[in-house]
Amino acid sequence: MASSSKKTRGKQKIEIKIIENEDDRLISFSKRHFGIYKKISELSTLCGSVTKRFLNPNQPLYETTDAPVEAYRKVRIKSLVQDYNEVHDQLDASKEKQKAFSLAQQSCGSDSHHWWKTPIDQLNPRELHERDKCFTEFIDLISVARDKKVASISSMHTAMDDDVLLSFLLDMALVCS
C-alpha cells in the first residue's frame, strides 16, 4: 500500500537569497542554468543598448545599437537601394520605348490614331512614301496573323465543316484587301 504522506515538497515559492552551502548552490545552478541563460538572453535583446548606456554614461546613444541589428539595417538599406535603382532603370527604358513609339506614330501621319484616313491627294511625296511604308508593314502583319490562324486551324484535329473554313478564309481575304 502506498503511503499518503508526500516525499517531496513540490513546487514552492522560495525566498530569494544567496544559498550559503556551496554544493547546494552549484546543484541549484546546474538545474536552473538553462532558464537563467534564457532570461539573460531575453533581457540582453530587449534592453542591451540601455544597459550599455548605464555601464558607460559617456558613450553616445547611437553607438550602443547592437552590431547585428545595425548590420542587418545596412544590408536591408543596400538591398532596397539596389531594387530602387533597378526599377528606376526599367522606368527610364520604358519611357524611352514610349518616346520611340510616339515618334513612330507621328511619322506615319499627322493624326496618329487615324493616319490612314488622311486623303492621299493632300500628302507630299515624303508623306506618301512613309504612308506606303506603313501600309506595307500593316499588310505584312496581317499576312503573318492570317498564316498563323490558317496553320492553327489546319493543325486542329477536330472536324470542321468545309463551309466554316471557307467562310473564315474569305473573311481573312476581305480584311487583307
Q: What is the pLDDT of residue 159?
A: 47
In this prediction, residue 120 carries a pLDDT of: 80
Mean pLDDT of successive 10-residue stretches along the chain, which has 177 residues: 67 84 88 86 75 68 62 86 90 85 67 65 84 84 82 60 62 60
pLDDT of residue 1: 47
Q: Report the distance separating Cα 59 and Cα 74, nearest Å.
A: 22
Could you tell me the three cell numbers for 30? 546546474
List the chain domain ranges: 21-64
Please list, residue by residue across 2-12, b when 16 or more beta carbons sit within 10 angstroms of its beta carbon and e when fewer do.
Answer: eeeeeeeeeee
